[in-house]
Structure 1
Amino acid sequence: MRLNVPFLPRKAAHRDPLGEAQRLSLGLLESCGETQGTLTATRLAAALASLDDETAQAYDLWLVDQLGPDAAMLGASIERWLERPDAAHAAQLTRSAEPRRQELLRRVNTAPCGTRHLVDWRARLLRQLAQCPALAPLEADLRHLLASWFNRGFLTLRPITWDSPARLLERLIAHEAVHNIAGWSDLRGRLEGDRRCYGFFHPALPDTPLIFVEVALTDHVSEAIAPLLDHPSSRTAPDRPSTAIFYSISNCEPGLRGLQFGNFLIKQIVADLKAEFPTLTTFATLSPIPGLVRWLDAGGRSLSREGDDPRRLCALYLTGSAPDGTPGRPRDPVAAFHLGNGAELWRINPHADVSPKGIAQSEGMMVNYVYREQDLVANHERFAQHGHVARSREVAALIDGPAASPWRWTLPWGHAHRLSHPQEKQPCQ
């Protein structure tokens, strides 16, 4: 991202962009006045935005190596704390242990579009961490600061409609991560009639939803995604909807990955929907199972028993249970998200998403999680403290009950996996 800095004089391009960025960084840490500090922060942000990836990584490694805690100051603080571990010395120790680069990042945030720059900066670091683990301390610093600046108190929930600004709507199309939006007509169908969309917004990024949720108003808990994605002309909207289905949750900011917005978002949307539609009594999801096929191919399929319902393997995956039903931690990130929010694992639906993506990631299966207001706190606490997964009797029976079902895993044709019924002329494992 290139920052527009109209009030700065134009200068010739620096022959040493890395050295210039380092010089500006040290100058920013030494600046005292607000005006000079903002000016230097703006120049530094612009200089950093112009770096190529290789030079930017070299700069990041310099921050990790050279702008950590002051070793002498930290050592003295540790000695004073060991001599007298009181509140004053604890506070001094905390200040001494903070890397100098954290203060630099705070000051970069004072530049115009500084927050946007820092969010994009962390997104780049997350992409590079696997190849360059030495960047982890800087990524941790950015995560720490962004978690403070993007906490729930700064976020506002707003409905997103067809009348929202075009730039905002374009971001929905670009960042829909669960069910691809095939152009403007498709988007309009997800925003009008018996459909709703909500997003969390931050004052520093007013035109970008940090995360958005798509909702369908129905009269039942949906077991397949295709009817929810149908064009409005092909579906019948209930006059008095009883059920709200959350069928897509997408993040728009890779640089905020790992910061928890979705739990607050769902609970706030439930409250807003109940106020708008008093007939609503059920709040559920129709969720993907993104890692199921990878787990099956890595050995999960070996847990199958003769006559098993394939949903049983899916239930083992979603709950983290052992083959004998011994509880464990969920392996699936979507499951961990909803269960951590206090939802109940309610139903596993075969043939729910027969799109190429659905077949590739979960052999067509999707899952319903149900949010019951009276159970959310207890479910969350049991999950957080003991890993207990709230589950319906149907799901419990899949794990613990008899192995009896007309469904079988089919052998793959080519490299694809899918489910089929024995009445189809397909070989069974």
Structure 2
Amino acid sequence: MNPITQSLSDQRNGQPASLDHAKQLAAKLLSERGEASGALVSRELNDVLRALDGNDRYDFQRYLATTFQPDSNALRAAAERYLNDATAETAAAVAQAADPPRQELLRRINMAPGGTAALIAMRREITAHLRDEPELKLLDADLKHLLASWFNRGFLELRRIDWQSPAAVLEKLIAYEAVHEIKGWDDLRRRLAPDRRCFAFFHPALPGEPLIFVEVALVQGLATSIPPLLSQDVDEDAARAQAAKADTAIFYSISNCQEGLRGVSFGNFLIKQVVEELQAEFPRLKQFSTLSPVPGFRRWLTQRLADGSAPDAALSSQIAHDGWWNELRQSETLRADLMRLCATYLTLRPLPGNRIDPVARFHLGNGARLERINWLGNTVPRGVQESFGIMVNYLYDHDSIEANHEAFVHDGTIARSADVDALLPKSD
């Protein structure tokens, strides 16, 4: 009995899916016969993999990572030909010989309905094992390579999400929001009000599944604190009036929805396209800025205080006091030091040994300017835990985006405003 018939027979008889069957189907899929009947074989393989328990799926992932390696003899021969005659043709032959059969197998798995989602789920699952299982890094790299190709900007569709969007999509916003928790349907309705916008990228292979979404507030001037943006006590008429007179769009939350697509860049395209959409709808808008968290600041400062590299040792006991941010007198004694240290942290060049804030790296790498650092902009527990409540505006200025991006990428130069410069320690 062939593997496909066997697996179907097992399922009909109520027998659990077999790891051996999955391996046989993988080998079959990569064979010449498998290429001819690839859609059927890949569908059966995906069915079997879905039915495996977690341990067997993990064993199958290790099997993929360790078994389907390049032919060492063919690769060595191609490399020797290149060393003897370094031409474009021999270089291409080396690249072809180095391409692991595993990538072709993954491409064929993708042929089945739901194959793309299955590969994204596979990459999500192996994340937890990468540190302890170096072999899985090969599989992770192949998956990332293929997914980056399949999810390039040309395949993405930008959609506005509003209160009329399908309930299944709205539920996913609540589930995937990673920056400011959405506390139920009333909270979500406020975030989709007339003075708010929400946009997401979608992909044809994942209908109804947002890949990444951004939430935008239409306001006057730079927003410096998150609570007013999340307030729920605004009626729709007032919200429309606010949108009509707004001169600034504040990007206050960007959430990636698919862990299996980590490292596949969507955010830079998303922000730039949303800016174009908003400019077309609201010609009065003059500024496009974020109101962003600083997730690495507390960790950086804690380490700095612990290793004695900061002259601010007295801060340790003060910031350890619970609730200091709610006491005006005590918070004001900390304000100058913490703002100075946050400005120092955010202007560190991306050099070896410097821990660069991930949100800062994202926006500065996209060409934004570090515009303003805001004291106690978010005092919910997460905001205090990450950055002592400090939030940041990164400004996207159309005329300087490209120059800022080039300077940051080439030599780590961080575009920043005079307000930020004023917070930094004065050099002798």
**TM bucket normalised to smaller:** 0.7 to 0.9
Deviation at 1:54, TM superposition (A): 2.0
Deviation at 1:14, TM superposition (A): 5.7
Which residue in the other structure is 1:293 paired with? Answer: 298
Query: In the alignment, is the contact (CA less than 8 A) between 1:31 and 1:37 conserved in 2?
Result: no
Deviations 1:207-230 (A, max 9, x none): 011000000000110010000000
Q: Which aligned pairs between 1:10-409 and structure 2 lie closer than 5 A?
A: 10-12=11-13, 17-32=18-33, 36-233=37-234, 237-299=242-304, 302-304=309-311, 308-320=336-348, 331-401=356-426
Query: Cα gap change, 1:238/1:161 in structure 2, threshold over 3 Å: closer, same or farther?
Result: closer
Query: Cα gap change, 1:52/1:319 in structure 2, threshold over 3 Å: closer, same or farther?
Result: farther
Deviation at 1:68, TM superposition (A): 0.8
Q: Measure the CA separation in 2 of the matches of 1:257 and 1:170.
A: 21
Q: Which moved more, 1:52-61 or 1:41-50?
A: 52-61
Deviation at 1:188, TM superposition (A): 0.7
Query: In the alignment, is the contact (CA less than 8 A) between 2:370 and 2:416 conserved in 1?
Result: yes
Deviations 1:236-255 (A, max 9, x none): 62532100000000011000
Which residue in the other structure is 2:5 paired with? Answer: none
Query: In the alignment, is the contact (CA less than 8 A) between 1:319 and 1:327 conserved in 2?
Result: no
Which residue in the other structure is 2:320 paired with? Answer: none
Moved beyond 6 Å, runs of 4+: none
Q: Measure the CA separation in 2 of the matches of 1:99 and 1:91.
A: 14
Query: Cα gap change, 1:304/1:192 in structure 2, threshold over 3 Å: closer, same or farther?
Result: farther
Q: Measure the CA separation in 1 of the matches of 2:233 and 2:220.
A: 16
The letter of the residue matching 1:49 is R
Q: Which has the higher helix share?
A: 2
Q: Measure the CA separation in 1 of the matches of 2:16 and 2:352.
A: 60
Query: In the alignment, is the contact (CA less than 8 A) between 1:327 and 1:388 conserved in 2?
Result: no
Deviation at 1:95, TM superposition (A): 1.1
Q: Measure the CA separation in 1 of the matches of 2:123 and 2:352.
A: 36
The letter of the residue matching 1:392 is S
Q: Which moved more, 1:130-139 or 1:189-198?
A: 130-139
Q: Which moved more, 1:147-156 or 1:232-241?
A: 232-241
Which residue in the other structure is 1:408 paired with? Answer: none
Q: Measure the CA separation in 1 of the matches of 2:131 and 2:14.
A: 32
Deviations 1:344-394 (A, max 9, x none): 001111111011111111111100000000100000000001000101111
The letter of the residue matching 1:286 is L
The letter of the residue matching 1:52 is D
Q: Measure the CA separation in 1 of the matches of 2:253 and 2:111.
A: 35
The number of equivalent residue pairs is 394
Query: In the alignment, is the contact (CA less than 8 A) between 1:292 and 1:361 conserved in 2?
Result: yes
Query: In the alignment, is the contact (CA less than 8 A) between 1:320 and 1:328 conserved in 2?
Result: no
Deviation at 1:34, TM superposition (A): 6.1
Q: Measure the CA separation in 1 of the matches of 2:150 and 2:233.
A: 39
Which residue in the other structure is 1:418 paired with? Answer: none
Query: In the alignment, is the contact (CA less than 8 A) between 1:197 and 1:214 conserved in 2?
Result: yes
Q: Measure the CA separation in 1 of the matches of 2:224 and 2:16.
A: 61
Q: Measure the CA separation in 1 of the matches of 2:359 and 2:89.
A: 43
Q: Measure the CA separation in 1 of the matches of 2:47 and 2:17.
A: 15
Deviation at 1:52, TM superposition (A): 2.2
Deviation at 1:131, TM superposition (A): 2.9
Q: Measure the CA separation in 1 of the matches of 2:169 and 2:384.
A: 31
2:74 aligned counterpart, secondary structure = helix
Q: Which moved more, 1:71-80 or 1:367-376?
A: 71-80
Deviations 1:139-175 (A, max 9, x none): 0000000000001111111100111011111110000
The letter of the residue matching 2:368 is A
Q: Measure the CA separation in 2 of the matches of 1:175 and 1:248.
A: 11
2:400 aligned counterpart, secondary structure = helix
Deviations 1:47-95 (A, max 9, x none): 1222222222222222222111011211221122222222222222111
Deviations 1:306-345 (A, max 9, x none): 99531111111112269xxx99966100000000000000
Query: Cα gap change, 1:127/1:171 in structure 2, threshold over 3 Å: closer, same or farther?
Result: same
Query: In the alignment, is the contact (CA less than 8 A) between 1:14 and 1:20 conserved in 2?
Result: no
Deviation at 1:33, TM superposition (A): 6.6
Query: In the alignment, is the contact (CA less than 8 A) between 1:193 and 1:232 conserved in 2?
Result: no
Q: Measure the CA separation in 1 of the matches of 2:31 and 2:49.
A: 18
Q: Percent identity?
A: 49
Q: Which moved more, 1:34-43 or 1:139-148?
A: 34-43
Query: In the alignment, is the contact (CA less than 8 A) between 2:194 and 2:243 conserved in 1?
Result: no
2:372 aligned counterpart, secondary structure = strand
Q: Measure the CA separation in 2 of the matches of 1:279 and 1:395.
A: 27
Deviations 1:379-426 (A, max 9, x none): 0000001000101111112114399xxxxxxxxxxxxxxxxxxxxxxx
State TM-score, norm by structure 2. 0.87
Which residue in the other structure is 2:323 paired with? Answer: none
Deviation at 1:233, TM superposition (A): 2.0
Which residue in the other structure is 1:406 paired with? Answer: none
Q: Measure the CA separation in 1 of the matches of 2:203 and 2:267.
A: 14
Query: In the alignment, is the contact (CA less than 8 A) between 1:348 and 1:366 conserved in 2?
Result: yes
Q: Measure the CA separation in 2 of the matches of 1:110 and 1:34.
A: 11
2:27 aligned counterpart, secondary structure = helix
Query: In the alignment, is the contact (CA less than 8 A) between 1:244 and 1:282 conserved in 2?
Result: yes
Query: In the alignment, is the contact (CA less than 8 A) between 2:29 and 2:35 conserved in 1?
Result: no
Which residue in the other structure is 1:407 paired with? Answer: none
Q: Measure the CA separation in 1 of the matches of 2:353 and 2:367.
A: 17
